[in-house]
Structure 1
């Protein structure tokens, strides 16, 4: 890319527990346009700044003026220690290393929330019978290396993201099998607390595969989350049982989050796992468990649920945070 075109560009990033994604961004009217989105393996770099330097060398531009980087972890006074990757990242460090006039860190699911209303129908897969709604507050959640949760409050034409650490709420089993899974996970954690992220994540799926089989009297080999999902899609009975149970727990958790956030406008499922198992998810107990909320079942039954298919949603949300309205929303 010609460096002479970089003057009005911003840099956006999305750093998770596995991958670090970056793009340049410019605005076509009100909508951000991503330029040369690129993914890197986080483990290949000592710091976030090293990965950004590599990206800027690749695209061959002068320093963008501003940067917004979405990160998987709680941000405290402009800095974060990544939850699933041993990186410390600070806004001051990004400014110094990248030569940016301004640099801002936002939670990765805050970015997902900012992007959700801007996704087109082709970027979404409806789960259940309800279409998307243009009104009401939203919940955005999703399993990947961890389990992220955010809300989006919509009032008087404004959209305010709500950053949360909802992936760390306690896992609540709903039947005898899940009680046994909870017991096994508690033992695995030496009596520690079992959050939903301990199941609803890549590492969680791997533990669930073993513990679910044990609870049901089956013996299975240890597999990676990638192997489990691939074999489930191919029809392997043991892996399919794991993925179906994973989807069931995801449905219960998503319904609880919808109740907590009052997300009448819809629940959006993000992250890297859901798109890989979308056909199984649609046939799984996900929506039944989402709806099954006792006296409040009528509330959740009226909420649409969709899986996000767009590969760079968090980058879009980070780009939104570069706009005046977006900056105000995340300040």
Structure 2
């Protein structure tokens, strides 16, 4: 069998697995997660994984999905001081090597998901078959992609939408923007919709109401929000509302009538909050185009290794 290594490299974690490309579905085997800061390079992290697997021979092929733009098979990470190229991976012993954007991999993986891998947000309608779908998510950063179907062909567009400018929709968000504009030369979507972005929202809202902001990490804010503490709860609810508004903007931009899928590390932790209604209200609040958004379903992806599935599909297809 044609054995392959697949990887999903974010700003914080590197996830690897083995796939047998001849298998139907090519589901990841033996997935493991490593802290990126524990390794000086991608090659070192790959070697650690293969050593842990007890592998004396490198797989035939590798595809790594990375959190950053990829140009001609070369990637410099946005939130990580690593650089990787397909040529460098082949030089380490792989016969075939692909480097793709992580949201390209996520979009390619969506068609292989089952209903058990998804949680609908709100009363979402069934999507019409064959339409474009969008994938986006918040984690260390914010990523966006779209999968377009043309007859039997699937095409993925992956950009850097997380670095588009943040657009406030009410007075509170205007005040949040004003405070963030003091800290950053430019306030992008990622400055709000990410782990660090949740912390930015929380601190800005504390400043607006003149309250203390004792929690220092996104995990602490999320935990206290789910426990019912007022300021963290309001910050997380506003995070989800902004997420809905941004998701609606990208659904309009891509014409994503096939659905919007929320991936990344944060959305699965906030399903309860996302389902309270603020996300869908903001998603659909697009003036004359509100009926267009109302017909688009939204889901949280709960499968932990969607990017690895997508990376395997890329190798199988090429």
Match of 1:300 in 2: 293
Answering whether residue 201 of structure 2 is matched by residue 211 of structure 1, we say: no
Aligned equivalents of 1:256 and 1:304: distance in 2?
14
Match of 1:156 in 2: 151
Aligned equivalents of 1:217 and 1:291: distance in 2?
32
List aligned pairs for 1:221-232, cutoff 5 A.
Answer: 221-232=214-225
List aligned pairs for 1:161-176, cutoff 5 A.
Answer: 161-176=156-171
List aligned pairs for 1:44-59, cutoff 5 A.
Answer: 44-59=38-53
List aligned pairs for 1:9-158, cutoff 5 A.
Answer: 9-27=3-21, 29-61=23-55, 62-97=57-92, 99-133=93-127, 134-158=129-153
Do 1:244 and 1:284's aligned partners in 2 also have CA atoms closer than 8 Å? no
Aligned equivalents of 1:132 and 1:140: distance in 2?
17
**Deviation, structure 1 residue 214:** 1.7
Match of 2:270 in 1: 277
Aligned equivalents of 1:261 and 1:58: distance in 2?
41
* 1:59-102 Cα deviation digits (max 9, x unpaired): 123211111000000012211111111111111111112x0011
Match of 1:323 in 2: 316
**Deviation, structure 1 residue 119:** 0.6
**Deviation, structure 1 residue 155:** 1.1
**Deviation, structure 1 residue 219:** 2.8
Aligned equivalents of 1:95 and 1:233: distance in 2?
46
Aligned equivalents of 1:219 and 1:234: distance in 2?
18
Aligned equivalents of 2:64 and 2:23: distance in 1?
22
Aligned equivalents of 1:139 and 1:215: distance in 2?
34
**Deviation, structure 1 residue 233:** 1.2
**Deviation, structure 1 residue 309:** 0.3
Do 2:141 and 2:194's aligned partners in 1 also have CA atoms closer than 8 Å? yes
TM-score of the aligned structures, taking structure 2 as reference length: 0.97
* 1:3-39 Cα deviation digits (max 9, x unpaired): xxxx521110000000000000014653112110110
**Deviation, structure 1 residue 131:** 4.3
TM-score of the aligned structures, taking structure 1 as reference length: 0.93
> How many residues were matched structurally?
316
**Deviation, structure 1 residue 231:** 1.1
Deviates further, 9-18 or 217-226: 217-226
Structure 1, gaps ≥5 residues long:
1-6
* 1:159-216 Cα deviation digits (max 9, x unpaired): 1111111111110001111101001000011xx1110000000011111110022223
Structure 2, gaps ≥5 residues long:
none
Aligned equivalents of 2:78 and 2:126: distance in 1?
32
1:24–1:172 CA distance, 2 compared to 1 (3 A): same
